[in-house]
Structure 1
Amino acid sequence: MRPSERQLRAQLAFFHDFIRVQADLGDPYAKVLSVPESPYPHFEEIRARGLLHQSSIGAWVTADHGLANQILRDRRFGVRKAGGEKLPEFIGFDNSLLGADPPDHTRLRRIAAPTLNPRMAEGWRSRIQEICDQLIDDLLAEDGPFDLMTAFAQRLPVALIADLVGIPDRCRDDFHRISRRMTPLLEGVVTYDQTQSTEAAIREITELLVDVIAQRKADPQDDMITRLLALVDEGSMSMTELVPMATFVPLAGSETTVNLIGNGVLALLNHPEQWRLLVERPELAAGVAEETLRFDPPVQQYRRIVHERLELAGCTLPVDAELAVMVGGANRDPKVFPDPNTFDITRSVGADTLAFSAGIHYCMGASLAKLEAEVAFQALATRIPRLRRAGRIRRGSSFIIRGMAEFPVAAR
């Protein structure tokens, strides 16, 4: 039976109070869940407790790069419990890659691969440049400060993904508006009002896509929906899987890119010598993307469920135990990354930063996200070399996705 509004509000209030108490008692994972301005000192506290320890919250936690990499690649861990129950951040992702374990995950990933492979990503470079130039033209036509997030970082990936998925021009404003309302699904829904809003957004995006699918049946194009429709016709996937695939894979990719761009520009402007270096050498833009993924990644943690009783890092983990893999901390593991707290766009990153996970759940849109960020950083440095902060930022409220809701900047 679905809990009532009163019950849900009471459960959420209890959860937040419990987290607050455990944080006050000194639990570093509870401090991370409290969404501080910077989680990075708390990742160091987690690392100081050993390779793996059980938080007072209940989850087993690690910020060690080697162990994090091992867990993310090990198929004894997944996103669903033995009875099929999903982790909270995957609720709503029915019939999609993000909420599936093998064998369904394997089949759906194979279906999505042709649309999201690295070779395909490079073919979008000129379109990404075109979108960036148009957005910057619009910004430079206005006087005064602007919000980097809403005026640039959010608009680039949504415009590109609308092209990739096959959203007609007449539906794009609605697609952008609904997509923004669905982001709490990736962040971990934390309030009753958010659950109501995201559920309504899912219904709206489903209606929009059903209409687009009908159009593509009548008028096929070179886009994701048309390619997936062919697979439905041949029986490789079902129509109930097509809509989630066309919704949630792009949503995950766009939100990662939004915050990769935002976090990267913030790091550059907070380190003026690095911004000046990029302005002088725009070819370093790809390095900015890689270093941002290490230094301040959009996704701060991945959570997994133990599928079988096992020994890990000297600990015995029961079936359905939850693990919190702190990739934001693993990406600053001093055993792997020298001088880890320094933002250096000339760094040779070397080891996998784990910013896009690893193993079978490695983000299929990683190549496209990095390409979008590279082109965006280069375009901003080339066309707005005097870009500067113009007010206080406002961060999001998620402990999974790290990014900004508002980032005021000025071009002059």
Structure 2
Amino acid sequence: MRPTERQLRAQLAFFHDFIRIQGAQGDPYAKVLGVPDNPYPHYEEARARGRLHRSTLGSWVTADHGLANQILRDRRVGVRKANGEKNPEFIAFDNSMLGVDPPDHTRLRRIAAPTLNHRMADGWRSRVQEICDRLIDDILAEDGPFDFMTAFAQRLPVAVIADLVGIPERSRADFHRISRRMVPLLEGVVTYEQTQSTEAAIKEITELLVDIIAERKAEPRDDMISRLLPLVDDGSMTMAELVPMVTFVPLAGSETTVNLIGNGILALLTHPEQWRLLAERPELAAGAAEETLRYDAPVQQYRRFAHEEIELAGWKVPVDGELTILAGGANRDPQVFPDPNTFDITRAVGADTLAFSAGIHYCMGASLAKAEAEIAFATLVRRIPRLRRAGPIRRGGSFIIRGMAEFPLATR
């Protein structure tokens, strides 16, 4: 039975109070869930408790890079419980790759691969450059302080995703508006109002996509929807799977890119010597994207459930035991990254970062996200070399997605 508004509000209030109390008593994971402006000292506290420790909130927690990587690649764990019960974090992602385990995940990932692969990302570079230049033209035309998140960081990935998915021009404003209302689904819905808003947004975007799908069926184009529709016809996937795939996978990918770009520009401006270095050596833009993913990752943690009893770092985790991977902490593990709290765009990060997860749930859009950030950083430092902060930032309220709601900047 669906809880009433009063019951849901009471449950959420109890949840927040419990976290606050446990955090005050010293539990590092509870402190992280309190969404501090700077969670990184709390990741160090978690690491100091061992490679794996049991939080007073019940989850087994790790900030150890090696163990985190191992868990994310372990086929004995999944995003759902052993009996298939969904992780509450992914309730809205039913039938999408984000919320299912093999064999459904394997099948859906294989279907999506042709649209979200490395070669596809390389082919989109000229389009990304075109959108970057247009957005910067608009910013320079205003000639005054602006919010970087709404003027650039949000608009670039959404424009790219709209092209990729196949959203017609007349529907893009609605697609952008509804997509922004759905972001709390990735962040972890924490208020009654967010619950209501996101449920309404799911209904609205489904209605929007049903119309677009019908249009693409009659007139196919070179986009994700058109490529997937024949698979519905031949039975490889269902319409109930197609709609979530063209909704939530692009949403997850675009939101990661939004905050990769925002966090990267914040880090570069906070470390002006790195901004100057990038201006002198624009070929370091790819390194700036990689270092941002390590230093201040858009996705800070992942949750998994044990599908059988498993032994990890001396602990026996029971069936359905919840495992929390503090990726933001693992990406600053001093055993893997020397001088981990230093932002250095010349660092050789490589594939060691867990910013896009690992194993079968590794983000398929990682190459496109990195390409967008690389082009954005190089273009911004070239066209607005005197970019500077113009006021205090306002962060989002998520313990999963790390980014900014407002980021005031000036062009000179």
Task: Specify the code of the residue in structure 2 equivalent to 1:140.
Answer: L
Query: Could you tell me the TM-score, scaled by structure 2's length?
Result: 0.99
Indicate yes or no: 2:336 matched with 1:336.
yes
Q: Give runs of aligned pairs for residues 8-407 of structure 1, distance below 5 A.
A: 8-350=8-350, 352-407=352-407
Task: Specify the code of the residue in structure 2 equivalent to 1:385.
Answer: P
In the alignment, is the contact (CA less than 8 A) between 2:263 and 2:403 conserved in 1?
yes
In the alignment, is the contact (CA less than 8 A) between 1:395 and 1:405 conserved in 2?
yes
- 5+ residue gaps, structure 2: none
Instruction: Tell me the distance in 1 between the aligned counterparts of 2:81 and 2:169.
Output: 41
Once the two structures are superposed, residues 170-193 of structure 1 have per-residue CA deviations (whole angstroms, 9 ceiling, x without a partner) of: 000000000000000000000010
Instruction: Tell me the distance in 2 between the aligned counterparts of 1:107 and 1:371.
Output: 26
SS in 2 for 1:323: strand
In the alignment, is the contact (CA less than 8 A) between 2:55 and 2:61 conserved in 1?
yes
2:7 counterpart residue number? 7
Instruction: Tell me the distance in 2 between the aligned counterparts of 1:88 and 1:296.
Output: 25
Instruction: Tell me the distance in 2 between the aligned counterparts of 1:403 and 1:393.
Output: 10
Once the two structures are superposed, residues 110-144 of structure 1 have per-residue CA deviations (whole angstroms, 9 ceiling, x without a partner) of: 00000000011100000000000000000000021
Instruction: Tell me the distance in 1 between the aligned counterparts of 2:83 and 2:18.
Output: 26
SS in 2 for 1:265: helix
In the alignment, is the contact (CA less than 8 A) between 2:268 and 2:274 conserved in 1?
yes
Instruction: Tell me the distance in 2 between the aligned counterparts of 1:84 and 1:196.
Output: 26
In the alignment, is the contact (CA less than 8 A) between 1:308 and 1:318 conserved in 2?
yes
Once the two structures are superposed, residues 25-81 of structure 1 have per-residue CA deviations (whole angstroms, 9 ceiling, x without a partner) of: 000000000000100000000000001000001100000000000000001110111
Shift of 1:88: 2.1
In the alignment, is the contact (CA less than 8 A) between 1:73 and 1:358 conserved in 2?
yes
Once the two structures are superposed, residues 239-283 of structure 1 have per-residue CA deviations (whole angstroms, 9 ceiling, x without a partner) of: 111100000110000000000000000000000000111111111
Once the two structures are superposed, residues 146-176 of structure 1 have per-residue CA deviations (whole angstroms, 9 ceiling, x without a partner) of: 0000000000000000000000000000000
Task: Specify the code of the residue in structure 2 equivalent to 1:95.
Answer: N
Instruction: Tell me the distance in 1 between the aligned counterparts of 2:350 and 2:278.
Output: 20
Number of residues paired by the alignment? 412
Once the two structures are superposed, residues 327-354 of structure 1 have per-residue CA deviations (whole angstroms, 9 ceiling, x without a partner) of: 1000000000000000000111145101
- 5+ residue gaps, structure 1: none
Instruction: Tell me the distance in 2 between the aligned counterparts of 1:83 and 1:5.
Output: 29
In the alignment, is the contact (CA less than 8 A) between 2:73 and 2:358 conserved in 1?
yes
Instruction: Tell me the distance in 1 between the aligned counterparts of 2:278 and 2:90.
Output: 37
SS in 2 for 1:22: helix
Instruction: Tell me the distance in 2 between the aligned counterparts of 1:403 and 1:47.
Output: 23
Instruction: Tell me the distance in 2 between the aligned counterparts of 1:155 and 1:282.
Output: 23
Instruction: Tell me the distance in 2 between the aligned counterparts of 1:321 and 1:194.
Output: 28
Shift of 1:235: 1.1
Instruction: Tell me the distance in 2 between the aligned counterparts of 1:84 and 1:397.
Output: 29
Instruction: Tell me the distance in 2 between the aligned counterparts of 1:166 and 1:24.
Output: 48
Instruction: Tell me the distance in 1 between the aligned counterparts of 2:351 and 2:222.
Output: 36
Instruction: Tell me the distance in 2 between the aligned counterparts of 1:87 and 1:38.
Output: 26
Once the two structures are superposed, residues 195-215 of structure 1 have per-residue CA deviations (whole angstroms, 9 ceiling, x without a partner) of: 100000000000000000010
Task: Specify the code of the residue in structure 1 equivalent to 2:23.
Answer: A
SS in 2 for 1:405: strand
Instruction: Tell me the distance in 1 between the aligned counterparts of 2:127 and 2:240.
Output: 31
**What's the C-alpha RMSD, in Å, of the aligned pairs?**
0.6
In the alignment, is the contact (CA less than 8 A) between 1:336 and 1:351 conserved in 2?
no
